[in-house]
A = this chain, B = another copy of it.
Amino acid sequence: VRATSDPPNRLVSGPARTGSIRAHNLALLLRTVAEAADPPSRAALSTATGLTRASVSSLVDTLVAGGLLVETGVPTRSGVGRPSTGLALDASGPAGLGLELNVDHASALIVDLSGAVRAQKTEYGAGSSGRLASLARDMASTAREQGLALAGAALAVPGLIDSGSGDVLIAPNLGTRSALGARGFADLVVGIGAATALPADRISVENEATLAARAERRAAGPAGPRSFLQISGEVGIGGGLVLDGQIYQGRHGWSGELGHVTVRPGGRPCGCGSDGCLEQYAGQQAILRTAGHADDRAATIAERARAGEPSMLTALAEAGEALGIALAGALNLLDLDAVVLGGLHAELAPWLAGPIESQLRRRLITARFALPAITPSALGGNASVLGAAWSVLDRVIDDPLAYLRDGRTD
Which positions in A face B, CB cutoff 8 Å? 8-9, 12-18, 21, 24, 28, 31-32, 47-50, 160, 169, 226-227, 239, 241, 243-244, 246, 248-258, 260-265, 272-275, 325-326, 328-330, 332-337, 362-366, 369-370, 372
Q: With contacts A8-B8, A362-B274, A370-B252 known, is A262 near B21, CB below 8 A?
A: no
Set of chain B residues within 8 Å of A337, measured between Cβ atoms: 251
Give A141 to B14 CA distance when docked, in angstroms: 37
What is the CB-to-nearest-CB distance from A344 to chain B, in angstroms, rounded to a whole number?
Answer: 19
A262 adjacent to B369 (CB under 8 Å): no
A227 adjacent to B250 (CB under 8 Å): yes
Set of chain B residues within 8 Å of A244, measured between Cβ atoms: 8, 246, 248
Set of chain B residues within 8 Å of A14, measured between Cβ atoms: 9, 12-13
Set of chain B residues within 8 Å of A334, measured between Cβ atoms: 241, 248, 250, 255, 333
What is the CB-to-nearest-CB distance from A272 to chain B, in angstroms, rounded to a whole number?
Answer: 5
Closest residue of B by beta carbon distance from A260? B365
Sample of 12 further A-B pairs with CB below 8 A, known A8-B246, A252-B369: A8-B8, A13-B14, A249-B335, A251-B335, A251-B337, A254-B369, A255-B333, A257-B365, A258-B333, A262-B325, A262-B329, A262-B363
Closest residue of B by beta carbon distance from A31? B15
Q: With contacts A256-B333, A336-B251 known, is A13 near B15, CB below 8 A?
A: no
What is the CB-to-nearest-CB distance from A367 to chain B, in angstroms, rounded to a whole number?
Answer: 9
Give A169 to B365 CA distance when docked, in angstroms: 11
A260 adjacent to B332 (CB under 8 Å): yes
Closest 9 CB pairs of A and B: A250-B335, A13-B13, A257-B332, A16-B50, A254-B335, A260-B365, A255-B335, A261-B329, A9-B13
Closest residue of B by beta carbon distance from A229? B333
A50 adjacent to B15 (CB under 8 Å): yes
What is the CB-to-nearest-CB distance from A249 to chain B, in angstroms, rounded to a whole number?
Answer: 7
What is the CB-to-nearest-CB distance from A233 to chain B, in angstroms, rounded to a whole number?
Answer: 15
Set of chain B residues within 8 Å of A265, measured between Cβ atoms: 263-264, 325
What is the CB-to-nearest-CB distance from A49 to chain B, in angstroms, rounded to a whole number?
Answer: 5
Set of chain B residues within 8 Å of A31, measured between Cβ atoms: 15
Closest residue of B by beta carbon distance from A369? B169
Interface of A is mostly: loop
What is the CB-to-nearest-CB distance from A307 to chain B, in angstroms, rounded to a whole number?
Answer: 30
Give A185 to B8 CA distance when docked, in angstroms: 36
| Most chain B C-beta atoms within 10 Å of own C-beta, residue among A31, A249, A333 | A333
Set of chain B residues within 8 Å of A329, measured between Cβ atoms: 261-262, 326, 329-330
Give A16 to B25 CA distance when docked, in angstroms: 11
Set of chain B residues within 8 Å of A261, measured between Cβ atoms: 328-329, 332-333
Q: List 7 A-B contacts (CB under 8 A).
A: A8-B246, A9-B13, A243-B248, A251-B335, A251-B337, A326-B329, A329-B329
Q: With contacts A9-B13, A32-B15, A262-B328 known, is A257 near B333, CB below 8 A?
A: yes
Set of chain B residues within 8 Å of A263, measured between Cβ atoms: 265
Give A31 to B13 CA distance when docked, in angstroms: 12
| Most chain B C-beta atoms within 10 Å of own C-beta, residue among A9, A252, A366 | A366
Give A120 to B328 CA distance when docked, in angstroms: 39
What is the CB-to-nearest-CB distance from A55 to chain B, in angstroms, rounded to a whole number?
Answer: 13
B32 adjacent to A50 (CB under 8 Å): no
Set of chain B residues within 8 Å of A257, measured between Cβ atoms: 332-333, 335, 365-366
Give A259 to B369 CA distance when docked, in angstroms: 18
Give A363 to B273 CA distance when docked, in angstroms: 8
